[in-house]
Structure 1
Amino acid sequence: MISTQEAPLGAAPSIFDLDIGTDPDDTCVAAMLAARPSRFRPALLVTSDETREKGRARFLAGLLRASRVELPVAAGLPSVRNRASCLVEEAGLAPDDVRFSVDAVGEIVRVLEASPRVDYVGLGPLSNLDAALLARPELAARVRLFQMGPALAGAYRREAAQYNARLDPGAFARVLARVEKPRLLFSHSSWGSGLGVYPDDPLACALRGASPAGALFVRHLEAWVETGKPCSIMHDPLTVLSAALPGLCDSADVSLVVRDDGWVGLTEEAHAALARELPARGKVIAGLLSERHAQMEGVRIEARMSLDTDGAAARRAIGEALLGEEGAAVGVAWGDWNRGRGER
């Protein structure tokens, strides 16, 4: 079940699908892309869970303009929640005078038509890609999907299915079943890895004056904390960087069952195989694997599933992606600061 090496993210054109504008972890990804676009080869940035006034796309386009980086941006589909606004709009961070496409699905099809393989980085619900593949199912063979989420039933700290999966569970299940071996950064790999960013920690303090994108991230983070959240956990940057730097997260090729409500479970065979590999692998989900397998009904898929995360390496990688070489030391200081708060 040990994963084989493959070309990292950045070896092919990529599409980044972000629900940017609420939790700042997507804004961190946008700042990484603005800092080093050539590293990730973004051909298109699209928004998901979009608001009525396209506030997510306006914020993303404004961040890129402030960074003097030209990348195509498209406003994607709204969610079933049909949001009137998002946090960055309410905080006055989404400018009105920016340009972007309003047809993310058409832009996704255009990029897929132009390349034999495209890396699709899903950091929100999969509504946009689902709509594109429903219209052009033959293009699914060109997609290599890196997705933030879902959560493994029995190994997640919350009672509801992981956000990206539950926001549009039908789209999530259809896309995972349609593309070849999706690469999934499960929630158990990013929770508890010491990746929380606070407005007064070393990473935020370094970003505040480092670049326009970094400063905008901190302003977004401050607005997020004002809503009552203690910090922003860097789920999305870890998804991106684990795809670009495979050593950050251990992973395994497994068979999964995707339920129609967004929850995902291991098949009996995958459960047994992972349990045999403990304690060397999968220690984050050791409790689940020590229990009897729980049968789940749903769509069976073959996927690459994240297991444990090298938190120290992840913090250094996030620091470097945002700040260059000096970012590694900032990442170490950020880890020390988090340990002082009792985070792993």
Structure 2
Amino acid sequence: MRSIILDTDIGSDVDDAMALAQILGSPDLSLAEVHTVYGDTLLRARLARRYGVLAGRDLDVVPGVVEPLSGRKIWWAGHEGTLHDGLESETISADTAPERLVDRLREHPGELDVAAIGPLTNLAAALVLEPEAAGWIRHLWVMGGSFGNEKCEHNFKSDDVAAQAVLNAGIPTTVTGLEITQQVTIESARLERIRAAGPLGAALGADIEQWWAFWNETWNVPHDPVAVLALSCPELFRFSEAGRVTIAVGGERAGHSTFTPDPAGSVRIVTGVDAEQVAEEITARIVAAGTAYAGVRGEIDGDRA
């Protein structure tokens, strides 16, 4: 059992919500907290909290930094949270994510993994507060970048300053880039399995369909679930040797990522994936999260009857 903090920009691309549900359905992971980042982090926190409720979990959710260190304009799809009524009633921590992250790492040095599936602003801010925190993270799992090509991935581009700072802080890190995640897709058959998985599955299925409609597609790439699954199922992935990742800061190539092998480096990247098995494992874990609570609720309702 690995204890993990999820740092997420949940609410825009549906893959963040999928990753959260996947973690909740992973018997090998214990979700310590959820931290939100980028844009309306309070709304994102309430949405993450709501997904916990749908899974029968009392999640500790902490809103984080709103503005990226890069100063870049925030991309906002406009549909964030619109399918979830009454989000303002969800109870959210009064703390802020960078401070909470430092506190938790100080309390449990070397015991917590961090999965960062949005811009790395919270982590960069935490390292400013306490530089020693870099040595307290057991392992950092990042969805970001695109290696061996000219693409500038959204998370790194949104806060290139934070990405450069975090990836050069000496934290043991695994980065999963677009060239890997884009090999995996979720299509209609798997959507139907997700939708049937209790209240959590129904809500997530609706959010997936909303994202598909936003792009006029009938499938999506589960970028963030792929990156998180590299922790749980490393046998489905191939990894580079140790090295360093550099991020282009500013200009037209802001956020462009380059990996350089270096035995003294602290970062590795994912270099290969069993795409079909990864898609199946992601789906199965999401379904497990939804059906487990649906089964419990069914037993309770049956007892009451």
What TM-score do you get using the length of structure 2 for normalisation?
0.83
2:118 pairs, out of 112, 124, 138, with 124
Structure 1 residue 72, shift from structure 2 partner: 0.8
Contact 2:10–2:44 (8 Å) recurs in 1: yes
Q: How does 1:1-344 map to 2 (within 5 A)?
A: 10-11=1-2, 13-36=3-26, 39-51=28-40, 54-80=42-68, 81-82=73-74, 86-92=78-84, 95-102=87-94, 103-117=96-110, 118-143=112-137, 144-152=139-147, 154-155=148-149, 158=151, 161-191=152-182, 193=183, 195-198=184-187, 201-230=188-217, 231-258=219-246, 259-260=248-249, 261-267=254-260, 302-324=266-288
Size of the alignment, in residue pairs?
277
Structure 1 residue 146, shift from structure 2 partner: 0.7
**Post-superposition CA distance 1:87-133 (Å, at most 9, x none):** 23344556110011241122212211111212110100110011111
Alignment CA distance shift 1:62-1:92 (3 Å): closer
- Which consecutive unaligned segments of at least 5 residues does structure 2 have? 292-305
Following the alignment from structure 1 to structure 2, what is the Cα–Cα distance between the partners of residues 182 and 128?
16
Following the alignment from structure 2 to structure 1, what is the Cα–Cα distance between the partners of residues 134 and 124?
10
Q: CA RMSD in A?
A: 2.5
**Post-superposition CA distance 1:282-328 (Å, at most 9, x none):** xxxxxxxxxxxxxxxxxx95411111111122122112212249x9x
Alignment CA distance shift 1:84-1:237 (3 Å): closer
Alignment CA distance shift 1:93-1:35 (3 Å): farther
Contact 1:23–1:232 (8 Å) recurs in 2: no
Alignment CA distance shift 1:204-1:182 (3 Å): same
Following the alignment from structure 1 to structure 2, what is the Cα–Cα distance between the partners of residues 27 and 204?
14
Following the alignment from structure 1 to structure 2, what is the Cα–Cα distance between the partners of residues 29 and 127?
19
- Which consecutive unaligned segments of at least 5 residues does structure 1 have? 1-9, 274-299, 328-344
Contact 1:56–1:86 (8 Å) recurs in 2: no
Any idea what SS the aligned residue of 1:43 has? Answer: strand
Contact 1:43–1:111 (8 Å) recurs in 2: no
Alignment CA distance shift 1:320-1:246 (3 Å): same
Following the alignment from structure 2 to structure 1, what is the Cα–Cα distance between the partners of residues 232 and 109?
19
Following the alignment from structure 1 to structure 2, what is the Cα–Cα distance between the partners of residues 234 and 94?
27
**Post-superposition CA distance 1:10-29 (Å, at most 9, x none):** 43x21101111011111111
Contact 2:143–2:177 (8 Å) recurs in 1: yes
The amino acid that maps onto 1:205 is E
Contact 1:257–1:265 (8 Å) recurs in 2: yes
Contact 1:189–1:309 (8 Å) recurs in 2: yes
